Structure 1
Amino acid sequence: MSNITFYTNPMSRGQIARWALHEAGAEYSAIILDYGSTMKGADYLAINPMGKVPAIVHQGRTVTECAAICAYLAEAFPDAGLAPKPDERADYYRWLFFTAGPLEQAITDKNLGIIPTADQERMAGYGNLDRVIDTLEAHLADRDYVCGDRFTMADVYVGSQVDWGLQFGTLPERDAFTAYAGRMRARDAYRAAKAIDTAEIEEMQRKG
């Protein structure tokens, strides 16, 4: 399997993609982009016209959006065993996209000061943030991982959102969330990826 080019910034959702790359056992070369310059430069805009990271280029094809990158890597590196088995597919895709859609949108809206009224909830795909949080909590309360007792690539994405939500206070400190995040933080691939991003952040801060 050919090497992957990984475009990222350590202070971004690129942390999700790096963790996914490590879980998949993929060989990759990282290109660190700066928000104010290279991320909006012509070279990168030819790869992702949104001017956002992360993105990966594999065998000449580009994949953007963290949930898509996670799902792609699970299929591109089947030996890692991170793609869903037939009886796991429903939970795998449901909660991968629930987290990428309703959860992230509801949290973003709240951070922007957008709180839908009761009438507006019918237009918002997530309804309201409390319902989204309760729904995810209920799913994680009686299982170790998204698909039950086995870690899959869905846990990289869902786990990242729960991990960050607890860290930044956008998710409440509920037992199901803290226990789940603890299992994610204990993984070797999580720790290896996090160590790289932490070192990159420290280097960026040192340079000022």
Structure 2
Amino acid sequence: MQQEIVFYTNPMSRGGIVHWMLEELGAPYRLEVLEYGAPMKSPEYLAINPMGKVPAIRHGDVVVTEAAAICAYLADAFPEAGLAPETTARGDYYRWLFFAAGPVETAISLQSCGVRPTAEQQMQLGCGAVATVIDTLAMAVKDRRYIAGDSFTAADVYVGSHIGWGMQFGTLDRRPEFEAYWAGLKERPAHRRSEAFIEKAMAEQR
């Protein structure tokens, strides 16, 4: 019997990345929507993620937190979905998946918070200068349909989510490279299904 996937999320969170990944996977999962505040800090949920944040998944006895880690785990746990390259061809896959999870997210978050690291501080930060990070991301997706080869993978879910949200919320410029890459991903049926969940939640809050 297939082990159950329980997906802990909130529609206004990075859980949207994992939701898209789960829809691409095609495996059944149970959705557990947590409100911000007390529900995420309850003893029951802190036993899942001591950070008291979403997303997280429980797959049988395995618990995974952090959106990039969840995407990588699910691609490996369900190889029949074809969301990870062969092991010998995973250089770009791991490189860009974790480049987006590390330098991209850190640099953009610092910028959004109004933090402008000095040249010396940039040397101490894993992300370095935000301009260099964004230029590198643009070069990575330029003239490429997919970020890690000739087929869609979990890395496209993660990188694409950051590019799509970044342009939507103004934390990334609408560069031609980003626009072209995102245009090839945003209408995927699995993405549209995960977006519908977010859109419904936003409509209910109005």
Scaled by the length of structure 1, the TM-score of the pair is: 0.95
For residues 62-81 of structure 1, the aligned pairs below 5 Å read 62-81=63-82
- CA deviation string 1:159-194 (max 9, x = no partner): 000000000111111111011111111101001111
Post-superposition offset of 1:142: 2.4
Unaligned runs of 5+ in 1: none
- CA deviation string 1:29-72 (max 9, x = no partner): 11110112201111111110000000000011110000000001
3-state secondary structure, aligned to 1:119: helix
Unaligned runs of 5+ in 2: none
Give 1:171's aligned residue: 172
Give 1:85's aligned residue: 86
Contact 1:48/1:64 (8 A) holds in 2: yes
Give 2:102's aligned residue: 101
CA RMSD, 1 decimal: 1.1
Give 1:31's aligned residue: 32
Contact 1:3/1:26 (8 A) holds in 2: no
Give 1:5's aligned residue: 6
Give 1:139's aligned residue: 140
Measure, in 2, the Cα distance between the counterparts of 1:110 and 1:133: 12
- CA deviation string 1:99-136 (max 9, x = no partner): 00000000111112211111111101111110000001
Measure, in 1, the Cα distance between the counterparts of 2:59 and 2:193: 22
Question: Which one-letter code corresponds to 2:197 in the other structure?
Answer: I
Measure, in 1, the Cα distance between the counterparts of 2:160 and 2:48: 27
Question: Which one-letter code corresponds to 2:148 in the other structure?
Answer: C
Measure, in 1, the Cα distance between the counterparts of 2:202 and 2:46: 23
Measure, in 1, the Cα distance between the counterparts of 2:162 and 2:124: 24
**Greater alpha carbon shift after TM alignment, 51-60 vs 1-10:** 1-10
Give 2:126's aligned residue: 125
Give 1:41's aligned residue: 42
